[in-house]
Amino acid sequence: MVGNTFVVEKTCPICEKTMRVVKTRSRIMVVSRDEDACTHYANFNPYLYTVWVCEHCGFAADEATFTTKIPDRHLGILRNILLTRCIRVPFVEERTVGNAATAFRLALKFQEILKGKASKSAKYAHQLAWVYREAGDTVQEAEFMNKAAEFYEAALAKEHFPIGELTDNAVIYLIAAIYYRLGEKQKATSYLSRLISDKSVRERERRIFDKARDLWGEIRAERKK
C-alpha cells in the first residue's frame, strides 16, 4: 500500500549517483508477532523494503550500510565489481515479493564477497524468510530460515555482543525459535535449555528467559499429544 511508504533520494556510496529509495512510515499497525520475532502488520509488509538497491550500479544493503562510511578496502572491491558491469535493478516504488527477494539475494551476495559480519547476513536471510512466509512460499521460507540459523550460529561463535540491541542470549533464543518453526524440536530444545539453565539470564534478561520458558513448555506440551 503506497500510503505506508515514501520515496527519498540518496547518494549511492559506490557509484556516487543519485538513487531513489522507499522508506516506510513508522506508524503501521501491528497485527501479530511470531515466535521468531516476525511481525505481521495490517495490509502491509515493511520487510519488502529493508534492503536498498542502487538503481544505477546494483549495490544492495540495508539502510545502515548505505548511510555509514564504507571502509576503503570494501569500496575498492565493490567498485571493481559494480562499475565494470551493468547490473540493472530498476527502481520500483511498490515492491513485489520477487523485487524484495532480488534485493535480499543481492545483499547476501555482497556480504559473501566482502566476508561481512554473519549477524548482518543472518538478518537478511531471516527477513527474506519472513517475506516468503507472508507470501505463503513455505519451501523458500524454510531454505532461508535454515540459512538464518546457520548465520546466527556463526555470529554467536565469532562476534562480540551486544550488537546494537541484540544480546547473545537474544540470538540463542532466535536460533531456538527458528528451529522450532522448522520442526526441529530437538535442536530448539538444546538452545532453549542453555537459556533456561542460566541463572544470569533469569536475573538480567527476564523477557528472554520468559519467552524461552514459554517455548520450552509449548514443545513439551506438543510431545505429550
Contact footprint for Zn ion (CB under 5 A): 12, 14-15, 54, 56-57, 59
Residue placing its CB nearer to Zn ion in the complex, 17 or 25: 17
> How does 60-91 read in b/e, with b if 16+ C-beta sit within 10 Å?
bbbeebbeeebeeebeebbbebbeeeeeebee
DSSP assignment of 14-76 equals TT--EEEEEEE-S---EEEE-TTS-EEETTB-GGGGSEEE-TTT--EEEHHHHHSPPPHHHHH
CB of 111 to Zn ion, least distance (A): 17
| Least Å from the CB of residue 58 to Zn ion | 7
In the complex with Zn ion, the residue whose CB is nearer, 83 or 196, is 83
Cα Rg of the chain, angstroms: 19
Closer residue to Zn ion (CB): 78 or 122? 78
Task: Identify the helix (H) or strand (E) that includes residue 10.
Answer: strand 5-11
Give yes or no for a contact between 148 and 111, defined as CB atoms under 8 angstroms apart: no
For Zn ion, give the closer residue by CB, 22 or 175.
22
Distance of CA 172 to the CA centre of its chain: 15
- Distance of closest approach, residue 13 Cβ to Zn ion, in angstroms: 8
Q: In this structure, what is the dihedral angle of CA atoms 35, 64, 30, 2, given to the nearest 10 degrees?
A: -130
**Contact (Cβ atoms closer than 8 angstroms) between residue 155 and residue 174:** no
Cα(188)–Cα(46) distance, integer angstroms: 28
Work out how close the CB of 120 gets to Zn ion at its nearest, in angstroms, rounded to a whole number: 19
Supply the minimum distance, in Å, between the C-beta of residue 17 and Zn ion.
Answer: 6
Q: Which is nearer to Zn ion, 15 or 170 (CB)?
A: 15
Residue with smaller CB distance to Zn ion, 15 or 38? 15
Closest distance between Zn ion and the C-beta of residue 50, in Å?
18
Q: Phi/psi at 10 (nearest 5 deg)?
A: -135, 165
